[in-house]
Amino acid sequence: MYDAGDLMKFGFPMAFTATVLSWAILEYGEQMKEVKELKHTQDSVKWITDYLINAHPSENVLYIQVGDPDLDHKCWQRPEEMTESRPLTQVNVSYPGTEVAAETAAAMASASLVFKKINATYSKILLKHAQQLFHFADTYRGSYSISVPQVQEFYNSSGYTDELLWAASWLYLATKDHSYLGYVTEQYGNVFANWGSPSWFSWDNKLAGTHVLLSRLSFFGTEDITGAEHLGLQMYRRTAEAIMCELLPDSPTATSHRTHGGLLWVSEWNVLQYSVASAFLALVYSDYMLSSHTSTLYCAGKLYNPMDLRNFAILQANYALGNNPVNMSYLVGHGSNYPQYVHHRGASIPIEANTGCSDGFKWLNSSDPNPNVAMGALVGGPFLNETYIDSRNNSMQNEPTTYNSAFFAGLLSGLVTTSSVVRSFA
- Residues with active-site annotation: 6, 343, 390, 399
Query: CA–CA separation, 259 vs 22, rounded Å?
Result: 30
Eight-state DSSP code of residue 196: T
Q: Is 358 helix (H, G, I), strand (E, B) or coil?
A: coil
Contacts of 407 (CB under 8 A, 6+ apart): 20, 273, 276, 277, 279, 280, 378
Query: CA–CA separation, 149 vs 130, rounded Å?
Result: 25
CB 335 within 8 A of CB 321: yes
Residue 75: Cβ within 10 Å count = 21
Q: Name residue 106's amino acid.
A: A
Query: CA–CA separation, 396 vs 389, rounded Å?
Result: 10
Residue 9: Cβ within 10 Å count = 20
Contacts of 33 (CB under 8 A, 6+ apart): none
Query: CA–CA separation, 256 vs 76, rounded Å?
Result: 39
Query: CA–CA separation, 379 vs 402, rounded Å?
Result: 10
Task: For residue 191, give the H/E element and its range.
Answer: helix 189-192
Q: Is 186 helix (H, G, I), strand (E, B) or coil?
A: helix
Query: CA–CA separation, 135 vs 282, rounded Å?
Result: 31
